[in-house]
Amino acid sequence: MTYYENMFWAIYLLRILLQKMKTEDKNNMPKVRIAVIGKSNVGKSALTVRYLTRRFIGEYRSNTDLLYKQTLNVNNSSLDVEIVDVCSGEIQAFPEEAIYWADACVVVYDITCRNSFTQAADMLQRVLQLRNQIPTVLLGNKADLEHLRQIEELEGHTVAIQNNCHFHEVSVADNSSAIYASIDALLAECRSAQSTQKTRKFSVSKMFGTLIGTANHNKSSQNTTQGGTVVVCHKSDLYKSRVLRRRQNFTATASL
């Protein structure tokens, strides 16, 4: 082979290698999974849709868990966020799989419904029994219905303190800023836990990028993926998840 043929094949192979590494980098985008749980009718779906789309959907009926996937910009970096909106709030059907699957948990009650508060308190305890380190927030929803209030704000605070989690009263209907602040804070908490757990991966593609000057190009192409649309998936996607099996196995082994 001539010198030029050798050069041609070397450049060709290098381009294939870079392409493959770029794809791997994209797939390695950090991900945080959130489970939204609570009694039926407390506003879990309305909350999830509000957080992801900024819109309020008044009548939202679903008889299955729904998994939403979206890429968000958190603290100036892209983050794949998956939120499972767990349909059933019955304590007998406690969503154990969703809690194993999740990196963070949002427990919702309705400030006008005492039962929903009792159930939220029970659920918080169960969550912490299964995953005692999981970042969690307790949200008292429907704060716009002050005249129908059955649970004082202090009661919510007390249960949150007892279970070592954050607490806010919100109104999804009124678009409370605490909705965004509380979920953003959960995401940030998860990200900081993830980055301290993982030793920083050495990225060969970044090294090549720096060497041949494509690093900036890489960055800008990541920005274009932000925003995205909400994809609604069936919950079976959750149960195929490797992370769920890993965490369940870990707990089973730890409790032996």
Residue 142 or 191: the one with the smaller Cβ distance to ligand GTP is 142
Dig out the tokens for 118 from the structure.
């009792």
Q: Among 13, 157, 33, 128, which residue's Cα sits nearest to residue 84?
A: 33
Q: Phi/psi at 207 (nearest 5 deg)?
A: -60, -45
| 6 Cα distance to chain centroid | 48
Binding site for ligand GTP (CB under 6 A): 40-46, 58-60, 62, 87, 89, 141-142, 144-145, 171-173
Cα separation, 74 vs 33, whole angstroms: 14
Cα separation, 38 vs 194, whole angstroms: 26
Residues listed for the chain: 256
Residue 49 or 104: the one with the smaller Cβ distance to ligand GTP is 49
Instruction: Report the chain's C-alpha Rg in angstroms.
Output: 22
Dig out the tokens for 74 from the structure.
């958190």
Q: Residue with CB nearest ligand GTP?
A: 43
Residue 61 or 201: the one with the smaller Cβ distance to ligand GTP is 61
| 215 Cα distance to chain centroid | 28
Supply the minimum distance, in Å, between the C-beta of residue 115 and ligand GTP.
13
| 45 Cα distance to chain centroid | 14
Q: Which long-range contacts (CB under 8 A, 24 or more apart) does 222-229 make?
A: 222/26, 222/29, 222/78, 223/78, 225/26, 225/71, 225/78, 226/71, 226/72, 226/73, 226/78, 227/71, 228/70, 228/71, 229/70
Supply the minimum distance, in Å, between the C-beta of residue 110 and ligand GTP.
7
Residue 29 or 93: the one with the smaller Cβ distance to ligand GTP is 93
Residue 36 or 79: the one with the smaller Cβ distance to ligand GTP is 36
Supply the minimum distance, in Å, between the C-beta of residue 80 and ligand GTP.
23
Supply the minimum distance, in Å, between the C-beta of residue 56 and ligand GTP.
7
Supply the minimum distance, in Å, between the C-beta of residue 196 and ligand GTP.
33
Supply the minimum distance, in Å, between the C-beta of residue 182 and ligand GTP.
14
Supply the minimum distance, in Å, between the C-beta of residue 86 and ligand GTP.
7
Residue whose token pair is 């993830």: 194
Residue 147 or 242: the one with the smaller Cβ distance to ligand GTP is 147
Residue 42 or 79: the one with the smaller Cβ distance to ligand GTP is 42
